[in-house]
Amino acid sequence: MTPKVKRAIFILILSEFLVCLGISLVIPVMPFLRNELHLSAFDMGVMTSLFAFAQFIASPIIGRTSDKIGRKPILAVGLFLFMVSEFLFAATNYLWLFDISRIIGGLSAAMVAPTAMAFAADITTKKQRAKVIGWLSAAFSGGLILGPGVGGLLAKFDYKAPFWVSGVLGLISMIALLALLPKDEEVDLTPSDVDQMQRDVSSMKGNWSDLVSKPVILLFAMILISSFGLQGFESIYSLFVNQVFHFSLDNIALVLTLNGLISLVFQVALFDRLVVRFNETRLIRYCFFLAFAGTIWIIFAHTKWEVIIATLFAFTAFDLLRPAITTLLTKLSSKNQGLINGLNMSLTSVGNVIGPLMSGILLDMNTHYPYVVVAVFLGISYLMTFMIRIQSKTNLNVD
């Protein structure tokens, strides 16, 4: 990679990390905000749904737009909207303005995450891409992992402080991106990278027909199922282990912290090696199997240690699934990176909405029902991976 490519990747990683840190800073404050302003559970649910709905609607449109006008303007506007969203949330105590803030936040998320992935795909060869997408996924996860702890500390000073800090992080990210990120056409590549990317492009022309091919449709279905499974698994996890296995807050914090550390190691240091060792298709298959096995293990576990180990297996598999599927998708259509990553984020948003709703309803019926349903979907996804067939002319790792 040339220095400009490395700098561009660094700025993308920094922006992704700061935005995800800003998003998760506010998590520990939300219950206090609800009590302080006397909001109902329905009000809080609407705010969450508006964010996800805006992200769902905007992601494919913005992704296609970035294919036409370039990545940098979309990223800059996305970071600006993130800043506006957080400052507005911090400055108001009116419910309707909270809702507007969440809509703006959903638009910003639709602009930043998929566009960063698309930009990274634009300036890397297929051989380099797994490593870079692993780094971006680690930045995404790292921000979400560190945010709640930092937000909790800031909230001790003022319950609106995390929102102000989130807005400042958005401003810093936007300034750094505008000053340091080169435009799409200004990213210079090494001659060998140019030759390799030309071969990549010639192997898959990037027509709309690429997006309705059997492998792409299967991968999009797996994105939806994996996000549905993760949120269905994660959203009621603390309630489940507390109710069934009597986990304390310290126990839950230990599991989530261990998972965060393990996921960062796998995404930063091992993801590229796993792709080289197994190829994306097999890695996706093994991850679905491990997530399925971990979920089944939790259902039949009898001790806390069994639950902890099974949880780490399942969470690590989920955390590797998304970058593995994303990496394979970016290799299937060289000229539709924005649209592909936009659809990726849009389907993830759907799963993020449906998963918690499903798990919450089923948990009221029986404590084990949510994980039974998640396990069924994961088992079906595992079987679907045997249907993925990539033609050898694409020069991809084939099953």
Task: Parse the chain into domains and list their residue ranges.
Answer: 1-203, 205-399
* Cβ–Cβ < 8 Å for 26, 48: no
User: What tens digit of pLDDT does each residue of 354-392 get?
Assistant: 777 777 778 778 888 888 988 998 898 888 888 876 544
Question: Is residue 232 over pLDDT 60?
Answer: yes
Number of other residues whose CB lies within 10 A of the CB of residue 387: 10
Inter-residue contact 378 to 313 (CB < 8 Å): no
Residue range 163-211, pLDDT digits in tens: 898 889 889 889 988 888 877 665 554 445 444 444 444 444 444 455 5
Amino acid 197: pLDDT: 44
Predicted confidence at residue 259, as pLDDT, reads 78
Stretch 251-272: mean pLDDT = 77
Residue-level pLDDT at 264: 76
**The whole model's pTM is what?**
0.66
How far does the chain reach from its first CA to its final CA, in angstroms? 29
- Does residue 280 have a pLDDT over 60? yes
Confidence of residue 223 (pLDDT cuts 50, 70, 90): confident
- The percentage of the chain sitting over the pLDDT mark of 70, rounded to a whole number, equals 78
> What confidence score (pLDDT) does residue 45 get?
65
Helix (H, G, I), strand (E, B) or coil at 187: coil
- Looking at CATH, the fold of the domain delimited by 205-399 is given as Growth Hormone; Chain: A; (1.20.1250)
Give 183's DSSP letter. P
Q: What is the DSSP string of 356-369?
A: HHHHHHHHHH-TTH
Alpha-helical regions (H) of 214-336: 214-234, 237-245, 249-265, 271-278, 280-300, 304-332
Is residue 236 pLDDT above 50, yes or no? yes
**From the candidate CATH numbers 3.30.499.10, 1.20.1250.20, 2.30.30.280, 1.10.3370.10, the one assigned to the domain spanning 1-203:** 1.20.1250.20
**Residue 14: what are its φ and ψ, rounded to 5°?**
-60, -45
Mean predicted confidence (pLDDT) in 10-14:
85
Helix (H) or strand (E) holding 83: helix 71-91
Tell me if residue 189 falls in helix, strand or coil.
coil
Residue 239 amino acid letter: L
- Residue 341: band (very low, low, confident or very high) from pLDDT cuts 50, 70, 90: low
* φ, ψ of residue 39 in degrees (nearest 5): -90, 150
Cα–Cα distance between 281 and 187 in angstroms, integer? Answer: 30
pLDDT of residue 384: 85
pLDDT of residue 104: 92
Contact 54, 205 (CB under 8 A): no
Instruction: Work out the burial of residue 35: count CB atoms within 10 Å of its CB; fewer than 13 is exposed, 13-18 middle, 19 or more buried.
Output: exposed
Is the distance from CB of 81 to CB of 111 less than 8 angstroms?
Answer: yes
| Residue 251 · residue 305 · CB < 8 Å | no
pLDDT tens digits, 122-155:
777 767 776 787 777 777 767 766 776 677 778 7
Confidence of residue 336 (pLDDT cuts 50, 70, 90): low
Name the helix (H) or strand (E) containing 383. helix 369-384
The model's confidence at residue 338, banded by pLDDT at 50, 70 and 90, is low
- Residues in Cβ contact with 289 at an 8 Å cutoff, skipping those fewer than 6 apart: 317, 382
pLDDT, tens digit (0-9, with 9 covering 90-100), for 311-320: 889 888 888 8
Count other Cβ atoms within 10 Å, centred on residue 216. Answer: 20
Would you state the pLDDT for residue 294?
Answer: 92
290, pLDDT greater than 90? yes
Q: Which of 342, 300, 298, 333 is nearest to 317 (CA)?
A: 298
CA distances from residue 277 to 73, 281, 315 in whole angstroms, order as listed: 37, 11, 21
pLDDT, one tens digit per residue, over 89-121 is 889 888 889 889 889 988 888 888 778 877 887
pLDDT, residue 132, reads 80
Helix (H) or strand (E) holding 334: none
Query: For residue 36, how far is the Cα from the chain centroid?
Result: 31
Candidates 179, 150, 119; CA nearest to 18 is 150
CB 70 within 8 A of CB 183: yes
| pLDDT number for residue 204 | 43
Query: What pLDDT does residue 81 have?
Result: 93
Rounded to whole angstroms, the Cα distance separating 283 from 279 reads 6
pLDDT of residue 208: 44
Tens digits of residue pLDDT in 56-84 = 788 778 877 887 888 888 999 999 999 99
Q: Average the pLDDT over 282-309 and give the result.
A: 91
Q: Where do we find the tokens 């958005």?
A: 170
Residue type, 334: S
Find out whether 110 and 342 touch, Cβ atoms under 8 Å: yes
**26: CB partners within 8 A, 6+ apart:** 86, 89, 147, 151, 162, 163, 166
* Alpha-carbon gap, residue 149 to 163, rounded angstroms: 14
Asked if 137 and 271 touch (Cβ cutoff 8 Å), the reply is yes
Tell me, yes or no, if the two domains 1-203 and 205-399 fold the same way.
Answer: yes
Element (H, E) at 374: helix 369-384
How high does pLDDT run on average in the chain? 77
